[in-house]
């Protein structure tokens, strides 16, 4: 049926119905395509609001972009569909990679951006776009120092050694949370006169006749996931920056990409980590990249919902300083510091949750977090290894033998079984009490997204930048290839967020 026949123009229709999201059934992470959404809108007769730069999404990437654009003198609007700003970034674990950092120099660890790049490529199965991954590795130390010097983020004094990295290189925020960065970003923006505008949902892009993105149609007063906000048209006189994150919480979309990721698989992500922003970009002809590479976190606990607090025990204590065993056999079955995919696949292959453990020396670096982890029943404390074995139904003799063998490897300086990197300060497991936790993978990160170049410009199907549009953060694919290394998402988001903001601000004003 044509729009004329309905007696309404398309825009009138959308205004009356509360917008395309309602019309198309966007909600609860469910996305049904309507033919009416299959292209960008035309410019309205009158804009409701006008800014130089419009940033969609208020995580690391969007906020970094907004700060840069604002610093360069542009007027900026950062919008966020949820009622609170921060996305996944504000609930993030606060671990951030830097190659060749002052903390590494102090600890006598030799590292270079090339080595970080090599690690990223190896984990990414060499599907990474070399120019993008290289940019992130090259700027990793610079961007972490930016969080310290410019944002005032505080970090712990010790580096963390995450799986897949050949050396310890990850900074950890003082509160083990990405909020230590995000709240500083929001404060910086506020000091520059900008606040994140929440409950604002991107519906679609608006293009001029030449195909340039000149604004957006959005819902103001949006209530996730139902919608219901008022439709408004916002002009972007310089550019729009898309920073809407990944789609790990989008059950229909993620299970189209990977049918194994059904409702039964939990996610670490916030509920708003859904794919609408990505779909809008695809509708205007952005090139999709590696969308079905979806990462499961091997350090997640089945004994709590979402990300929780268990991952800090597994990743910060048990994997580097302890062992992971199959409770059926009491045996190790994988390098505890292999990349996330190798570990998650190995756990899933056992068919049941596995057990990670460390002794009192192994938990030293995460000690302040232990009381809460124990109180919530995620981590358990035992006086003996036999008591630990009994609690998880592990054959006790077998567990003792596994730990004995592993301690032998530590004494000889080489993990003969799985080739795990042994930390400089690693000690044999043996000093009570012992701590343990069950692990079972959860959907954590979507490596794919839209293709960008090193200037954070999304490319269309003819490999040309889409004029007036920039993209950064988890929405952009190709940086990490098949597998993202832990602590490399924050640097990706901040590096490309900053580039997007700088480039958007440098665009000519178009009215």
Ligand X SMILES: Cc1cc2nc3c(=O)[nH]c(=O)nc-3n(C[C@H](O)[C@H](O)[C@H](O)COP(=O)(O)OP(=O)(O)OC[C@H]3O[C@@H](n4cnc5c(N)ncnc54)[C@H](O)[C@@H]3O)c2cc1C
Positions marked catalytic? 340
Helices 488-506 and 60-71, interaxial angle, to 10°?
30
The answer, yes or no, to whether the previous bond of 225 is cis (omega within 30 of 0) is yes
Q: Does 473 bind ligand X (CB under 6 A)?
A: yes
Cα separation, 57 vs 54, whole angstroms = 10
Token pair for 464: 């040309």
Among 62, 100, 468, 481, binds ligand X (CB under 6 A): 62
Indicate the Cα dihedral angle 386, 392, 395, 397, nearest 10°.
-20
Q: Does 481 bind ligand X (CB under 6 A)?
A: no
Q: Does 489 bind ligand X (CB under 6 A)?
A: yes
Q: Residues touching ligand X: how many (CB under 6 A)?
A: 41
Cβ atoms < 10 Å from Cβ of 375: 10
Q: Which residue intervals of 259-395 are DSSP H helices?
A: 276-283, 310-313, 319-321, 340-350, 370-375, 385-392
Among 19, 27, 59, 362, binds ligand X (CB under 6 A): 59
Cα separation, 268 vs 307, whole angstroms = 4
Cα separation, 494 vs 456, whole angstroms = 12
Among 269, 335, 373, 402, binds ligand X (CB under 6 A): 269
Give Cα separations from 260 to 4, 125, 182, 392, 438 (angstroms): 44, 21, 33, 27, 21
Task: Give the nearest distance from C-beta 146 to ligand X in angstroms.
Answer: 15
Among the residue ranges 190-198, 404-412, 488-496, 499-507, the one whose residues contact ligand X (CB under 6 A): 488-496
Q: Does 171 bind ligand X (CB under 6 A)?
A: no
Cα separation, 244 vs 254, whole angstroms = 15
Among 74, 104, 198, 244, binds ligand X (CB under 6 A): 244
Task: Give the nearest distance from C-beta 311 to ligand X in angstroms.
Answer: 7
Task: Give the nearest distance from C-beta 10 to ligand X in angstroms.
Answer: 20
Each residue 349-378 as x (binds ligand X by CB under 6 A) or -, in order, gives: ------------------------------
Give Cα separations from 453 to 64, 134, 456, 504 (angstroms): 18, 12, 5, 14
Among the residue ranges 51-59, 126-134, 140-148, 320-328, the one whose residues contact ligand X (CB under 6 A): 51-59
Each residue 69-108 as x (binds ligand X by CB under 6 A) or -, in order, gives: ----------xxxx----xxx-xxxxxx------------
Q: Does 477 bind ligand X (CB under 6 A)?
A: no
Q: Does 445 bind ligand X (CB under 6 A)?
A: yes
Single out the residue of 447, 147, 177 nearest to residue 312, CA to CA.
177
- Of all residues in this chain, which one has the CB nearest to ligand X in the complex? 59
Single out the residue of 178, 170, 159, 181 nearest to residue 116, CA to CA.
170
Task: Give the nearest distance from C-beta 182 to ligand X in angstroms.
Answer: 8
Q: Does 316 bind ligand X (CB under 6 A)?
A: no
Q: Does 61 bind ligand X (CB under 6 A)?
A: yes
Between 245 and 441, name the residue whose CB sits nearer to ligand X: 245
Among 133, 213, 443, 490, binds ligand X (CB under 6 A): 490
Cβ atoms < 10 Å from Cβ of 180: 22
Contacts of 55 (CB under 8 A, 6+ apart): 62, 65, 66, 69, 76, 77, 78, 79, 240, 241, 243, 501
- The contact set with ligand X (CB under 6 A) reads 56-62, 79-82, 87-89, 91-96, 178, 201-202, 243-245, 268-269, 272-273, 276-277, 307, 445, 473-474, 487-490, 493
């Amino acid at each position: 049926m044509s729009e004329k026949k309905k007696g309404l123009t398309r825009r009138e229709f959308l205004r009356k119905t509360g917008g395309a999201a309602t019309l198309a059934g966007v909600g609860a992470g469910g996305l049904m395509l309507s033919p009416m959404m299959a292209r960008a809108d035309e410019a309205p007769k009158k804009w409701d609001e006008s800014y130089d730069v419009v940033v969609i999404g208020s995580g690391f990437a969007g906020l970094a972009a907004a700060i840069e654009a604002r610093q360069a003198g542009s007027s900026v609007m950062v919008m966020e569909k949820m009622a609170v700003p921060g996305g996944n970034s504000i609930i993030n674990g606060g671990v951030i990679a830097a190659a060749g950092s002052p903390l590494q120099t102090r600890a006598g660890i030799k590292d270079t951006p090339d080595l970080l790049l090599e690690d990223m490529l190896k984990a990414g199965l060499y599907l990474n776009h070399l120019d993008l991954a290289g940019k992130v590795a090259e700027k990793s130390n610079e961007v972490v120092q930016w969080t310290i010097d410019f944002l005032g983020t505080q970090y712990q004094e010790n580096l963390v050694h995450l799986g897949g990295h050949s050396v310890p290189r990850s900074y950890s925020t003082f509160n083990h949370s990405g909020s230590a960065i995000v709240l500083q970003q929001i404060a910086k923006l506020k000091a520059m006169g900008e606040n994140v505008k929440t409950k604002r949902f991107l519906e679609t892009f608006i293009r001029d006749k030449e195909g340039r993105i000149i604004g957006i149609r959005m819902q103001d007063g949006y209530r996730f996931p139902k919608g219901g906000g008022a439709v408004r048209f916002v002009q972007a006189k310089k550019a729009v920056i898309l920073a809407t994150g990944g789609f790990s919480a989008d059950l229909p979309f993620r299970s189209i990409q990977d049918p194994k990721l059904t409702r039964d698989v939990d996610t670490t992500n916030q509920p708003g980590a859904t794919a609408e922003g990505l779909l809008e970009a695809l509708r205007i002809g952005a090139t999709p990249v590696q969308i079905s590479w979806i990462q499961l976190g091997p350090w997640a606990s089945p004994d709590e919902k979402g990300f929780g607090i268990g991952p800090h025990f597994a990743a910060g204590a048990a994997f580097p300083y302890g062992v992971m065993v199959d409770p059926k056999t009491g045996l190790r079955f994988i390098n505890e510091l292999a990349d996330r995919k190798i570990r998650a696949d190995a756990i899933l292959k056992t068919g049941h949750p596995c057990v990670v453990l460390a002794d009192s020396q192994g938990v030293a670096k995460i000690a302040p977090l232990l009381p809460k982890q124990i109180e919530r029943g995620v981590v358990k404390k035992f006086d003996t290894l036999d008591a630990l074995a009994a609690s998880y139904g592990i054959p006790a003799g077998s567990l003792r033998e596994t730990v004995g063998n592993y301690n032998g490897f530590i004494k000889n300086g080489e993990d003969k079984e799985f080739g795990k990197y042994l930390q400089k300060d690693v000690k044999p497991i043996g000093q009570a009490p012992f701590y343990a936790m069950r692990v079972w993978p959860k959907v954590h990160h979507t490596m794919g997204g839209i293709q960008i170049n090193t200037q954070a410009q999304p490319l269309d199907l003819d490999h040309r930048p889409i004029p007036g549009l920039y993209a950064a953060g988890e929405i952009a694919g190709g940086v990490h290839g098949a597998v993202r290394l832990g602590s490399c998402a924050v640097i990706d988001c901040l590096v490309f967020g900053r580039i997007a903001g700088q480039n958007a601000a440098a665009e000519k004003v178009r009215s």
